[in-house]
């Protein structure tokens, strides 16, 4: 387990991290490029990923760094005797777990559908005061898959069904989605609008839910 913090700024200010986030096994690739304060906790980074990738925080998650696992220990503890200890994501920062450029770690969301993300530190930049308390999406491609569609394989099948109006499940799947869905759609400006609404340095579940509902224009 990492216990020391490496800083790149002589005055102790946190550097700015540029991250590439890729949804593994997606084809064509679903990805985002983000800038995040280096002293962001993994709990805060989780909120950023939910907003930026497009998830709804409806399932458990984990960060996987080498042999260490980090998560919200209130909801996600070891399930059986001898299971690896799960570390509290709110107590570790990005620059602790990935102190160097090209460091990589994993982010798993929804252990049923098993959405696996690879996160790579593309650059570690000098501190920028204006960017010290929020995340920024620089670029990205393609929409987030709908929740609970069965993982990458289920998503691929869903897209096939939606493209074929003669498919016997076409009508059912459109009703299940309940909204128009464009797999190629991704709006950087809209993503940044909602990223800026995340409270720093901590985001409660209630506040994250409010942000995600606003992003998805949900009024239920």
In this structure, the answer to whether residues 132 and 160 fall within a common structural domain is no
Contact 18, 116 (CB under 8 A): no
In this structure, the answer to whether residues 118 and 199 fall within a common structural domain is yes
User: Is 170 part of a structural domain of the chain?
Assistant: yes
Other Cβ atoms less than 10 A from the Cβ of 3: the count is 6
In this structure, the answer to whether residues 173 and 193 fall within a common structural domain is no
Segments forming the whole domain that contains residue 87? 16-142+186-213
What pLDDT, in 10s, does the model give residues 79-134?
Answer: 556 677 899 999 999 999 999 999 999 999 999 999 999 999 999 999 999 999 99
Where residue 132 falls (left for φ over 0; alpha for ψ -120 to 50; beta otherwise) is: alpha
User: Is 219 part of a structural domain of the chain?
Assistant: no
In this structure, the answer to whether residues 173 and 194 fall within a common structural domain is no
Number of structural domains in the chain: 2
Q: pTM above 0.95?
A: no
Gyration radius of the chain's alpha carbons: 18
CA-CA-CA-CA dihedral for 47, 48, 53, 57, to nearest 10: 10
User: Is 10 part of a structural domain of the chain?
Assistant: no
In this structure, the answer to whether residues 106 and 199 fall within a common structural domain is yes
CATH number of the domain encompassing residue 195: 3.10.290.30
In this structure, the answer to whether residues 27 and 122 fall within a common structural domain is yes
What pLDDT, in 10s, does the model give residues 38-64?
Answer: 999 999 999 999 999 999 999 999 999
In this structure, the answer to whether residues 164 and 98 fall within a common structural domain is no
Q: How confident is the model at residue 187 (pLDDT cuts 50, 70, 90)?
A: very high
Structure tokens at 60: 């458990």
User: Is 78 part of a structural domain of the chain?
Assistant: yes
Rounded to an integer, the average pLDDT of 151-166 is 95
User: Is 55 part of a structural domain of the chain?
Assistant: yes
In this structure, the answer to whether residues 68 and 162 fall within a common structural domain is no
């Amino acid at each position: 387990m990492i216990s020391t913090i490496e800083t790149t700024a002589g005055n102790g200010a946190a550097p700015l991290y540029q991250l590439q986030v890729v949804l593994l096994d997606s084809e064509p690739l679903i990805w985002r490029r983000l800038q995040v304060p280096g002293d962001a906790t993994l709990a805060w980074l989780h909120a950023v990923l939910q907003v930026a990738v497009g998830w709804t925080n409806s399932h458990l998650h984990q960060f996987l760094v080498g042999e260490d696992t980090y998560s919200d220990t209130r909801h996600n503890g070891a399930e059986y005797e001898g299971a690896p200890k799960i570390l509290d994501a709110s107590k570790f920062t990005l620059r602790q777990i990935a102190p160097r450029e090209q460091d990589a770690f994993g982010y798993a969301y929804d252990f049923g559908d098993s959405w696996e993300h690879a996160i790579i530190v593309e650059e570690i930049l000098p501190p920028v005061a204006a960017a010290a308390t929020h995340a920024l999406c620089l670029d990205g491609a393609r929409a987030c898959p709908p929740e609970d569609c069965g993982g990458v394989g289920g998503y691929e099948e869903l897209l096939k069904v939606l493209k074929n109006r003669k498919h016997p499940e076409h009508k059912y799947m459109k009703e299940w989605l309940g909204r128009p869905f464009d797999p190629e759609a991704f709006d950087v400006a809209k993503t940044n609008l909602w990223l800026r609404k995340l409270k720093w340095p901590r985001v409660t579940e209630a506040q994250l839910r409010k942000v995600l509902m606003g992003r998805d224009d949900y009024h239920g």
